[in-house]
Structure 1
Amino acid sequence: MVGPPRPLFVLFGSSIVQFSYSEDGWGAALADIYARKADILLRGYSGWNSRRAVQVVDQVFPKDAAVQPSLVIVYFGGNDSMGPHSSGLGPHVPLPEYIENMRKIAIHLKSLSEKIRIIFLSSPPVNEETIRERASSYRGIFSDIDRTNEACRRYSEACLELCRDIDVKAIDLWSAIQKRDDWMNTCFTDGIHLSSEGSKIVVKEILKVLKEAEWEPCLHWKSLPTEFSEDSPYDLVASDGKTTINPSEWTFHRKIQWD
């Protein structure tokens, strides 16, 4: 670890998380927004389902860690929702087991610290036509991808219902993304994974939760202190030639001025 200590945010999930630093992804956006305020740690595992996550959650989040996260954002469900393969292999997890796996993840995370905060992301929608087109390119490598928007909806709703039952904040990505009229053509790189436009929706929804949550302390970026924000004679010199300008809160480089 390097110091001084900052709040630690961990992103835990499958490829939606692992790829969140690519394509102007939502993880990269959060890292920029929280620069000098919190450390964003990526723990994404492409191809994983909730079953694999439960197997290692105590290794990813050990109870005896010297520093525990202030916030964990969790996403599993898209791979779980894929249709079962006749061999019994593959990422499919039946819906009742998916619910219990997500419950186990939440219970473990809550056991780490009384101060830990958790947000679950529900399964986003998919563009089935694009998936079918891209799947034809991979024939001979693996079997057809059985992923439907209807299955994503069922797993999304199950995740949201679980979160209401166990008092965990949740974001309904399945609905949030489809509020955009052109979501099918703009929000994905391949029909499944999020483009920069899809990621913007995720960031907006996460910041909304962090701003509205009645958490103490508040974890919204505008409420967190900025590291080394004190004025210094070594800052940029102002036009009067006598004072300096502190750039620690500048956000002009961002395409979006996040609330």
Structure 2
Amino acid sequence: MVGPTRPQFVLFGSSLVQMSFSNGGWGSILSDIFARKADILLRGYNGWNSRRFLKILNEVFPKDNVVQPSLVIVYVGGNDSVGAHSSGLGPHVPLPEYIENMRKILIHLKNLSESTRVIALSCPPVHEEIACGNTSTIFSKLERTNELCQSYSEACINLCQELDVKAIDLFNAIQKRDNWMNACFKSDGIHLAEEGSKIVVKEILKVLKEADWDPCLHWKSMPTEYGEDSPYDLVAVDGKTTLNPSDWTFHREVQWD
């Protein structure tokens, strides 16, 4: 482990998490926003459902760790919501079981420490025509419908309200974007393209800014590592002072709030 020790933000979940550092994904955007403020750690497992996450929960998040994450952003449910296959195989988990599995996951994360905060992402919608229309020589036909996505999304949000966990309603947030079906997804109609990832980031930052958490985990409120002024910084135009670049954001395509 390298120092200094920073707050740890863990992204935990299925493919929406595993792919979040690819091609302008929301994990990579968060890493840029929180540079010199927090370490963004990726624990993503493509294709997993809530049953599989329960089996590794204690390994990924041991309760006896000396250092616990400051924030866990968890996404579980997209694969659970896939329609059941006639063989009994596949990732589908019935909605009542999904709710109970998520309950165990969220309670475990909440209890890691008094200062560990949790944000749950609900199931986003899909571009149904593409998601259901894809033919493949590898996979059996998948049933990915917005009716199923919505039911699992609402179940996640309702559970979070019951457990006092912050939740982000991705199902509705993404649909507020103009031309969302064509703009927000990769070519499979399921996974998020850069525009979809920007919505995820915007919603996460909104929660962090508005949450009544001490300490605040919004990037503008967090200290910048080695952020003090230095005579070794670039010299200003007046020729007498230096410019501290530690919090410069001019390189960002989006100036995040």
For normalisation by structure 2, the TM-score amounts to 0.98
Match of 1:230 in 2: 228
Q: CA offsets per residue over residues 31-70 of structure 1, 9 Å max, x none?
A: 0000000000000000001110011111111112231000
CA distance in 2, matches of 1:126, 1:100: 24
Give the letter for the 2:17 counterpart: V
Superposition map of 1:88-237 within 5 A = 88-133=88-133, 135-136=134-135, 138-139=136-137, 141-189=138-186, 190-237=188-235
Whether contact under 8 Å (2:122, 2:171) holds in the other structure is: yes
Cα shift at 1:201: 0.5
Unaligned runs of 5+ in 2: none
CA RMSD of aligned residues (A): 0.9
CA distance in 2, matches of 1:175, 1:15: 20
Cα shift at 1:241: 2.4
CA distance in 1, matches of 2:215, 2:224: 15
Cα shift at 1:2: 1.5
Cα shift at 1:112: 1.1
Q: Percent identity, please.
A: 73
Cα shift at 1:132: 3.1
Match of 1:15 in 2: 15
Whether contact under 8 Å (2:132, 2:143) holds in the other structure is: no
CA distance in 2, matches of 1:235, 1:67: 33
Whether contact under 8 Å (2:119, 2:165) holds in the other structure is: yes
Query: Is the partner of 2:118 in helix, strand or coil?
Result: strand
CA distance in 1, matches of 2:172, 2:204: 14
CA distance in 2, matches of 1:24, 1:119: 21
Give the letter for the 1:132 counterpart: C
Q: CA offsets per residue over residues 144-175 of structure 1, 9 Å max, x none?
A: 01110110000000000000001000000000
Give the letter for the 1:121 counterpart: L
Match of 1:251 in 2: 249
Cα shift at 1:4: 1.4
CA distance in 1, matches of 2:80, 2:42: 21
Cα shift at 1:130: 1.3
Match of 2:76 in 1: 76
For normalisation by structure 1, the TM-score amounts to 0.97
Give the letter for the 1:188 counterpart: F
CA distance in 2, matches of 1:195, 1:142: 22
Q: CA offsets per residue over residues 105-134 of structure 1, 9 Å max, x none?
A: 01111221011100000000001111134x
